Amino acid sequence: MEKGRANVMAKVAVVGCGGFGKHHARVLSDLGALAAVCDIVEEKAKFYGEKYRVEHFTSVESLGKLGLDAAVVATPTVTHAPVAVKLIEQGVKYILLEKPFTITLSEARELAGMARKDGVELMVGFVERFNQAVVATKDLVEGNEIGAPILHFTSRFGRWPEQVFDVGVVKDTAIHDIDILGYISNERPSQVYATTGRLVHHKHEDFANIVLTYASGKAAVIEANWLTPRKTRKLNVTGTEGVIEADLMQQSITVMKQGETRMPNMAYKEPLMLELQHFVECVESGSSPKPNEEDAMSALEIAEIALRSSSTGMPVKL
């Protein structure tokens, strides 16, 4: 699709139908934009192709004949960049890569450079940016509802079975909150200190505690693990005039101020649906999606610095 063409339904393929990829296929099908699915496992590709009545393939190279406008890459992280390169070489001009975007920051920089050279728009799957509780928290903070923020606290827990992971809990899980904090505060941390460990999983860290400090004087604490039995996704912001407590799973918010506690009404909306609506609308209108590769690289840099801090036991200045 040429940039600037509006009112024409985008043709989008999903590469990788396991894990979160199958949800991308479902939502894009509901939006009427799903053109094909691709998975290295033939049975899986066939299952979702037949389920959503689209073409299915087992290799990215086979997608070239479809004249795709866009693609979603939801394969294992280590394959994101190679898959994206193949799509760019086929002329695909919009690519959404699931978080954490690429396996390393250096790989992200190389991919971003190639995309810019070829006029390709990249988006990263930080789906929490489309969570109504996160959006409402950002609006309240920017509206000075709780005064000047002093402390941000996030918790992201859930038990994950031993699987083949190519990244640990920092890049897979905590990176969501690293991005949320940048999104809400519009500020980069000046220093990162982290402790991580591995209790159950054999290859990568499965718990992390990350402390971010900022030049403005505020701080943020990120807790993430793959160990706790009960799934939790929470965001708290403490300010000089009040506190916001957000439950990202329930998409609910509590605002506590002196002599007042209230819970703004919010209708639940599936974040992935909102994310992919935004992506498809950008494809159809020729506009640039957000969050983009710059947002991805910013979060990846902080994640890698957190891992470096954990390995040395020392805080690291950005």
Go through the domains of the chain in sequence order and give each one's CATH number. Answer: 12-125 (3.40.50.720), 128-269+302-317 (3.30.360.10)
**CA nearest to 236, candidates 118, 153, 134:** 153
pLDDT at 201: 87
Query: What does each C-alpha distance from 78 to 100, 108, 171, 203, 278 come to in angstroms?
Result: 10, 11, 12, 15, 26
pLDDT digits (tens, 9 = 90+) for 234-272: 999 999 999 999 999 999 999 999 999 999 998 899 999
Q: Is the pLDDT of residue 5 over 80?
A: no
pLDDT exceeds 70 at position 25: yes
Ramachandran sector of residue 313 (left: φ over 0; alpha: ψ -120 to 50; beta: rest): left
| Residue 65 neighbours by CB under 8 Å, 6+ apart | none
pLDDT at 164: 57
Taking only the tens place, the pLDDT of each residue in 196-231 is 999 998 889 999 999 999 999 999 999 999 999 999
Spatial contact of 310 and 194, defined as CB atoms under 8 Å apart:
yes
pLDDT over 90 at 30, yes or no:
yes
pLDDT at 3: 42
Question: Rounded to the nearest 5 degrees, what angle is found at the Cα of 202, between the Cα atoms of 199 and 208?
Answer: 45
So what's the pLDDT on residue 203?
87
| Tally of residues, the chain | 318
With residue 107 as reference, give the H or E element that holds it. helix 105-118
What pLDDT score does 160 carry? 84
Per-residue pLDDT tens over the stretch 133-158: 999 999 999 999 999 999 999 999 99
Q: What is the pTM of this model?
A: 0.94
The pLDDT assigned to 32 comes to: 97
Establish how many alpha carbons lie within 13 A of residue 2's alpha carbon, considering only the half-sphere containing its beta carbon.
Answer: 2
The pLDDT assigned to 224 comes to 98
Residue 1 above 90 pLDDT? no
Residue 2 reports pLDDT greater than 50:
no
Task: Please tell me the predicted confidence (pLDDT) of residue 8.
Answer: 56
User: What's the rounded mean pLDDT across residues 288-312?
Assistant: 98
pLDDT in tens, 99-118: 999 999 999 999 999 999 99
pLDDT recorded at residue 161: 74
Residues with Cβ within 8 Å of residue 51, at least 6 apart in sequence: none
Q: Which residue is associated with the tokens 């396996």? A: 103
Contact 259, 268 (CB under 8 A): no
User: Residue 7: pLDDT above 60?
Assistant: no
- What's the chain's average pLDDT? 95
Tokens linked to 238 = 């403490």
Cα separation, 15 vs 44, whole angstroms: 11
Rounded distance between C-alpha atoms, residue 4 and residue 11, angstroms: 15
CB environment 60-70: b (16+ within 10 A), e (fewer): beebbebebbb
Judged against a pLDDT cut of 80, whether residue 6 lies above it is answered with no
pLDDT tens track for 55-97: 999 999 999 999 999 999 999 999 999 999 999 999 999 999 9
What residue type is assigned to position 312 of the chain?
Answer: T
